Amino acid sequence: MIFNTTILQGAFIIDIEPRSDSRGFFSRTFCAQQFIEHGLEVTNVQCSIAFNHKQGTIRGMHYQDRPLAEAKLVRCTSGAIYDVIVDMRPNSRTYLAHIGVELSAENRRSLYVPEMFAHGYQTLTDDTEVGYQMNKLYTPGCDRGLRYDDPILGIQWQLPVSEIADKDLTWSLLESMLVGIEK
C-alpha cells in the first residue's frame, strides 16, 4: 500500500500496489503493521456499506464526538464518489480545513479519516457503493454533523445535489456554533 499524506495531519489517501499476472492482480487494502507504522488506528469493530441509487447524492458531513470519536477507512467498491473530510479538532492548525478526493471502483483508492474529522461524499455515478471500516461502534447521541453547503467550509461539490437526507439539512451552520470562539 502507498500512504499519501494530505494537508490534514493524520489523514491519508491510500493507493494499492497491485501484483499482476495473467489472471489479473492481487493487492492488500489493509495491513495493521503498515497502519501502525504510519501512526494510524488499526482496531476495526464495525464495517458497513452504503448503496446510493442516484448520481449527485450527498451523504454527510458526519462524525462522532469524544469520547467515542471514530476513525474510518473509506473505499468506493462500485461507481465513484467525491469524498470530503473536515478537521474538527479545535486545537489543530488545520481546524475547519478540508480536502476532497475522488474514490472509485476504478482507482481503488481508500481514504483514512482520523478521529474528530467530519466525513461526507457525493456520488459521481448512479448505483454507487461505499464500504467503511470503523474503530468505534456507532453511538446514537454522540453523532454530530455539518451542513454540506456551509459557507465557512466552502466545499466545492462536483455536481448539483440530487438527494440528501432531511437530517443532513438540519445541522446548524458553523457561524452559529462559532459565536464567541476565535476561528
Active site residue 62: yes
Give me the amino acid identity at 140: P
Contacting residues for 150 by C-beta, under 8 A, at least 6 apart: 173, 174
Question: Quick one: residue 94, left, alpha or beta (phi over 0 = left, psi -120 to 50 = alpha)?
Answer: alpha
Q: Cα(46)–Cα(3) distance, rounded to whole angstroms? A: 22
3 state SS of 169: helix
Cα separations in angstroms, 55 against 60, 88, 127: 15, 27, 8
Residue 59: half-sphere exposure toward Cβ, Cα within 13 Å = 18
Catalytic residue, from 38, 119, 132, 138: name it: 132
In 3D space, the residue among 126, 110, 120 whose CA is nearest the CA of residue 83 turns out to be 120
**Helices (DSSP H) in the chain: which residue ranges?**
32-37, 174-177
Catalytic residue, from 38, 53, 62, 82: name it: 62
Catalytic residues: 62, 132
